[in-house]
Structures are given as C-alpha cells and as structure tokens.
Amino acid sequence: MADLVAFVYMGGEEYKWVFFEVYDRVKSYLRDIDLPVIPVYGGHIKLPPGTLVQVRTENGIVKMYSFEAVVEALYGRLVEMRNDVNDESITKIFGLTTYPIGSRKEYFDIYKKYLGLQVSIANYHVLALSIKPFHTENRELFVERVFKGVLHELGHLYGLSHCKNDCVMNPPSDLKDWDLRAPTFCSNCLRELKERFKPKLQL
C-alpha cells in the first residue's frame, strides 16, 4: 500500500513555479525508483505578515517565518485534508516555504536557522523546507537544489541517516558542495528505503 505525503506551498507568488517544478520532479522520481510514496497536492497557504520574524545576524537583519507558525499552519492543513476526504491514511505533510524558517528564544538575541525541519505530533509528521536559501539565477540549478533538499528530508522521514556516498543524504558543507551532489539516493540508501516498505512477516 502506498504512503501519501501532502505537499503544500507556503508564502508569496515569487517561488510558486519552483514548487510545482520540484513537486512534479519528486513525484516522477519516486515513481521511477519504484518507491511506494505518492505526493499529493495540498494547496497554497498564504501566511499572514505577522508570522514573519526579523532576526539580527552577522549579515544584518534577516526575515524568517516563525518556526511555530509554519508548524501550526501545516498541522492545521493536514487535519483539514484528512477531514475533507475522510481519509485517515494521510498522516504526513511537507511545506515548501518562500522565506527561511527560524526560531528566536524569548528574551535572548539568538536564533536557529532551518533549511529543513521535521516535527512529529502524535501520529502526524510535519516537514518543511525553505526555498530561498537555494536561490540562484540558474533556473535549472535552482530547481535541482530544492529537489535534492526535498529528497534529503523525505529520506530522514523514512528512517535514513546521513550518508558518506555521492547521495542526497550526504549533507553538504556549502551550496557549492551541494551542487556537486548527485540528485538521487545512492544504491545503499535506496536499498535501505525499500527494505522499510517490505511487508513484515507475521509469526
């Protein structure tokens, strides 16, 4: 039985085209490698201006979406989707956001910046990835960077650890390193993924 993952675009219109190109590519890739994971479109969430936080960094003020606001919005959309289609099998949702996602601890001028995040709430799984940190004027490279980021987070969702091969599960030291990474799971990670979807033998 296939596992459904809802994909949602979060933010303004500027990177909507990236979302749909990445979404289509992820859908095709998962089908091509015969992994029983099916992305389903979960719509567009426009976060209100109040969800943007301004954080002081070494490079100046950075605008980020509030970590808490992103998780809350995705969780709410997941519950809506389950109720609308009356399908309890939808337990995972993946948001692609325009702005980076950050969280600032109250009363302290510190923050943590996330390229990708995953949160489990009961049996629900909420994932998100920022598009903006991958930006380049090279359209094809831009899409590939985000595509590899989505595969990386999906790999973690299904239990993969970081890898040392030429693989999307091998975390880069910087974007140049990421650009050199193959846009695929290596044979070892793919084998491990497929093992996780094999039916368990009943004793």
Write the DSSP string, 163-188: -SSSSTTS--SSHHHHHHS-SS--HH
Would 28 be classed as within a structural domain? Answer: yes
What is the model's pLDDT at position 108?
44
* Position 101 confidence tier, pLDDT thresholds 50, 70, 90: confident
Burial 164-191 (b: 16+ CB within 10 A, else e): eeebbbbeeeeeeebeebeebbbeebbe
Q: Kindly tell me if the per-residue pLDDT of 55 is higher than 60.
A: yes
Would 183 be classed as within a structural domain? Answer: yes
Would 202 be classed as within a structural domain? Answer: no
Residues 182, 166 contacting (CB under 8 angstroms): yes
What is the model's pLDDT at position 112?
62
CA distance 203 to 201: 6
Helix, strand or coil for residue 158?
coil
What is the model's pLDDT at position 130?
93
* Position 115 confidence tier, pLDDT thresholds 50, 70, 90: confident
Would 201 be classed as within a structural domain? Answer: no
What is the model's pLDDT at position 190?
97
What is the model's pLDDT at position 52?
83
CA distance 39 to 8: 10
CA distance 81 to 106: 33
| Average pLDDT for 135-151 | 97
What is the model's pLDDT at position 203?
47
Domain residue limits at 109: 3-196
User: Which residue is catalytic, options 14, 153, 192, 195?
Assistant: 153
Q: Kindly tell me if the per-residue pLDDT of 85 is higher than 90.
A: no
**Annotation marks residue 68 as catalytic:** no
What is the model's pLDDT at position 57?
72
Would 179 be classed as within a structural domain? Answer: yes
CA distance 45 to 22: 17
What is the model's pLDDT at position 181?
96
What is the model's pLDDT at position 123?
86
CA distance 155 to 185: 8
The residue ranges of DSSP E strands in 26-100, in sequence order, are 37-45, 52-57, 60-66, 92-97
Measured CA distances, 11 to 18, 29, 47, 70, 121 (Å): 12, 25, 6, 10, 23
Q: Can you give the CATH number for the domain in which 112 is found?
A: 3.40.390.10
What is the model's pLDDT at position 107?
41
Q: What are phi and psi of 92, to 5 degrees?
A: -130, 140
Would 203 be classed as within a structural domain? Answer: no
Would 97 be classed as within a structural domain? Answer: yes
Helix, strand or coil for residue 12?
coil
Domains in the chain: how many in total?
A: 1
In SS3 terms, 89-132 reads as CCCEEEEEECCCEEEECCCCCCEEEECEEEEEECCEEEEEEECH
Q: Kindly tell me if the per-residue pLDDT of 69 is higher than 60.
A: yes
What is the model's pLDDT at position 114?
65
